[in-house]
Amino acid sequence: MIKFCTRIFSLIALSISVLFFVISSAFAGSPTKVGFVYLTTPGDHGWTYAHELGKQMVEKRFGKDIKVSVVENVPEGPDATRVIRELAKQGNEIIFTTSFGYMEPTLKVAKEFPNVKFEHITGYKRSKNVATGNIRFYEGRYIQGVVAGLMTKTNKIGYIGAYPIAEVIMGINAFAQGLKSVNKDASISVIWANTWYDPVKEADAAKVHIAEGADVLAQHTDSPAMLQIAEKNGAMGFGQSTDMSAFAPKAQLFASINNWGPYYIKKIEELRNGKWNTGDGPNHWPGNVWGGIKSDMLVISKFQNMPANVAQKAQEALDGIKSGKINIFAGPLIDNTGKEIIPAGKALDDGALWGMNYYLQGVNGKVPG
Amino acid sequence: MEALILTIIATSIPLLLAATGELIAEKSGILNLGVEGMMLSGAVGALGAVLWLENPYYGIIAGALSGVLMASIFSVFTINFMTNQVATGLGLTIFATGLTGLAGAPLVGKTIPSLPKIEIFLLADIPIIGSILFKQDFVAYLSIAIIIFISFFLKYSKSGIILRAVGDDHQSAHSVGYPVKKIRWYASCFGGMCAGIGGAYIPLVLTPHWSEGMTAGRGWIALALVVFASWIPWRIIVGALIFGGITIAQLVGQARGWPIPSQLLSMMPYLATIIALTMISGRLSKNNSVVPSSLGKPFFGSQ
């Protein structure tokens, strides 16, 4: 009986898959098939949510001309390889893998499917059919530093970092540069959460910062917990990845919003016109696309909960970055042990940013590890 | 300093509640590895109820009920259908992670009022101690009350002794005429209730919003705490405060620039659990058992 059932079952399964194959090959060729791999679900209201918004912009722009498949909650590692391979097998022509840890899996699958294009987000390794894309998150951090320097009364800034990697350290240092430009007495203390996402731990870190006297908080983790704690305790802070003012209407000064849509649209358009490329060259650190405020990939939300003169200073910083007048990492740069990183008249290039393992002046302590 | 102690207490309470519930379940012989899942459903249930009924106290009830619901699913499988408890518990956590993600999707981006603090008349005015011990929220008082209650229950009440008997040797308890399955059902649901309230505490007090998987592994720490406490209720308070204290100490150390690697401190609670386990198994060899002997074993009798 069981054997009979299994046979019937496999027969049904077989016929369904054949049916799918027939249907999918009948429609092949018409819409461009696009795949997305997400680290968590859009429910994180942070990193993945920002990608989801980008994907929605893609759908709106192309409508029936594309067919989008999304796989959520894909752990970084062997599972990612399987998921990416499956998306390639299903005939997706371009696949966006949206987390740093998908770097090796993406490269591995790309080798097996030379005709499929891959776009890896925040990675630095490329191949013939793997391009990379990233956002200059640190530009928003500089403006945060300016606002924090003008808003703080205790001159203590609390910063919550996820992991001590170049991308996060770069953000802290950009924040310090903004802070220094308006307030020489304020300093930043950093707590590493050692996780991208743990609302309770992020909240605890925020409470500790406040108990230690910080009145302006910044985060490089994913949940809105820090801002909620700031709201409850009368402190201020900045939103990360998405606008978090709904969680902290009185505490959010502004949010740095990741805007992936234009980049996705550009790459899909290139693919459809047969012009897709990895744009590789000597000056493409860390990816062929590394856009910031100027290219609209980083959007600064409205300045709120601050006096008009502070908002004006913030706007000036924003305009300065946009026009290129402000170079955040221009010399003289001195690290917090007094060592000169780069003399006046020079500036750090993109490659040097990705090698940052020191704090600049204005940050307390030293980078762990 | 006061603010830091309050933070330690707040961060310990979900662990305390979930571990207490699991302790009772384990005392009856039920090993439920689904604590993380039950906490998650408590969290999502509580948040949904508060958004709907606009009163944080309903959140506590909803959290408790969601936890009990999850525990009931676990009980049907392990007690009535006699499935493997470890596998079912793991399955419950995975199931609940998915289910709460689905149920919580409409709640994303919404925020709720927190549970108010209750000041106890006069006592709250004592300097330092007053604001630490007597200006807490309802759940904090409740968790201490539950611990005191179960300490006495297990040690001095007849029902408590029967519960322990069922956990220690279900065959004997059965042959004396105690309804093993029924008792395990009660214990398991109590565990679910406590884990549910513990999970509810996270959106009700710590971070008033819903995001997927927001318990972030606290259910597993609660399981470790039961072992750390070697199944003795009051030790859970000590254990939870140590776990919470180390978590906060680690953060304070970073903010103040103490020269201790934060990774080392993050490791401490787990190290303490392993040491506790080693000590327990050392004592086991002296035939002085603290682990319920029927823990994790399905009971194949009729009731």
pLDDT tens digit sequence for B239-275 = 899 888 888 888 888 888 887 777 787 777 678 777 8
Tell me the pTM: 0.82
Taking residues A25-32, report their average pLDDT: 64
Position B286 scores a pLDDT of 54
CA neighbor of A36 nearest in space, from A280, A295, A297, A268? A268
Task: Give 3-state DSSP helix, strand, coil % of chain B, rounded to 5.
Answer: 75, 5, 25
Residues 32-51 of chain A with CB under 8 A from chain B are 40-45
The answer to whether residues A10 and A70 touch, using CB atoms and an 8 Å cutoff, is no
B254 touches chain A (CB under 8 A): yes
Of these ranges, A151-165, A278-292, B216-230, the one predicted with the greatest mean pLDDT is A151-165
Taking residues B42-70, report their average pLDDT: 94
> What is the DSSP secondary structure assignment for residue B260, as one 8-state letter?
S
Q: How far is A152 from chain B (nearest CA, A)?
A: 17
B131 touches chain A (CB under 8 A): no
Of B108, B110, B252, the CB nearest to A208: B252
pLDDT at residue A355 greater than cutoff 90: no
Confidence of residue A141 (pLDDT cuts 50, 70, 90): very high
Class of B2-117+124-285 in CATH? mainly alpha
pLDDT at residue A84 greater than cutoff 80: yes
Interchain CB distance below 8 Å, A43 and B114 = no
CA neighbor of A158 nearest in space, from B141, B252, B194, B200? B252
Is A30-135+260-291 CATH 3.40.50.300?
A: no
Of A202, A208, A364, the CB nearest to B257: A364
User: Which residues lie across from A342 on neighbouring strands?
Assistant: A333
Interchain CB distance below 8 Å, A200 and B202 = yes
Taking residues A164-169, report their average pLDDT: 90
Q: Which residues of A fall within a CB distance of 8 Å from B101?
A: 41, 43
Q: What is the DSSP string of B121-153?
A: TTGGGSTTHHHHHSEEEHHHHHHHHHHHHHHHH
CA neighbor of B293 nearest in space, from B158, B161, B165? B165
B281 φ/ψ sector (left φ>0, alpha ψ -120 to 50, else beta): alpha
Mean pLDDT (chain B) is 88
pLDDT at residue A242 greater than cutoff 80: yes
Confidence of residue A6 (pLDDT cuts 50, 70, 90): low
Taking residues A268-290, report their average pLDDT: 74
ipTM of the complex: 0.80
Would you identify the CATH topology of the domain A138-257+299-353? Rossmann fold (3.40.50)
Q: Counting Cβ atoms within 10 Å, is residue A210 exposed (0-12), middle (13-18) or buried (19+)?
A: buried
- Check if A30-135+260-291 and A138-257+299-353 are the same fold: yes
**Type of residue at A163:** Y
| pLDDT tens-digit readout, B202-224 | 999 998 888 888 888 889 989 98
The answer to whether residues A265 and A66 touch, using CB atoms and an 8 Å cutoff, is no
Q: Where are the domains of chain A?
A: 30-135+260-291, 138-257+299-353
B97 touches chain A (CB under 8 A): no
How far is the first Cα of chain B from the last one, in angstroms, to the nearest whole number?
Answer: 54
pLDDT at residue A288 greater than cutoff 90: no
Residues 11-70 of chain B with CB under 8 A from chain A are 11, 14
> What is the DSSP secondary structure assignment for residue A156, as one 8-state letter?
E
Q: How far is B216 from chain A (nearest CA, A)?
A: 6
Integer angstrom CA distances of residue A7 from A17, A18, A19, A84, A189? 15, 16, 18, 31, 65
Report the residue of chain A nearest B13, measured CA to CA: A200
What are the b/e assignments for B197-233, b being 16+ CB within 10 Å?
Answer: bbbbbbbbbbbbbbbbbbbbebbbbbbbbbbbbebeb
CA neighbor of A95 nearest in space, from A113, A78, A117, A110? A117
Position A18 scores a pLDDT of 56
Distance between CA B27 and CA B190 in Å, rounded? 12
Interchain CB distance below 8 Å, B211 and A45 = yes
Q: Where are the alpha helices (DSSP H) in A90-165?
A: 103-112, 137-151
Interchain CB distance below 8 Å, B7 and A211 = yes
Of these ranges, A19-33, B36-50, B123-137, the one predicted with the greatest mean pLDDT is B36-50
For a pLDDT cut of 70, what percent of chain B falls above it? Answer: 96
A92-101, A168-177, B167-176, B251-260: lowest mean pLDDT where?
B251-260
Report the residue of chain B nearest A247, measured CA to CA: B111
Of A44, A191, A197, the CB nearest to B255: A191
**At A158, which helix (H) or strand (E)?**
strand A156-161
Of B11, B212, B261, the CB nearest to A43: B212
Position A135 scores a pLDDT of 92
Distance between CA A49 and CA A236 in Å, rounded? 23
For a pLDDT cut of 70, what percent of chain A falls above it? Answer: 90
User: Which residues lie across from A334 on neighbouring strands?
Assistant: A340
Taking residues A192-200, report their average pLDDT: 86
Mean pLDDT (chain A) is 88
A174-178, A212-216, B139-143, B271-275: lowest mean pLDDT where?
B271-275
Position A291 scores a pLDDT of 87
| pLDDT tens-digit readout, A327-343 | 999 989 999 999 999 99
A88-97, A107-116, B75-84, B284-293: lowest mean pLDDT where?
B284-293
Q: What is the DSSP string of A256-313?
A: EEE--HHHHHHHHHHHHTT-------TT--S-SEEE-TTTTSEEE----SS-HHHHHH
Distance between CA B119 and CA B102 in Å, rounded? 38
pLDDT at residue B131 greater than cutoff 70: yes
Distance between CA B65 and CA B68 in Å, rounded? 5
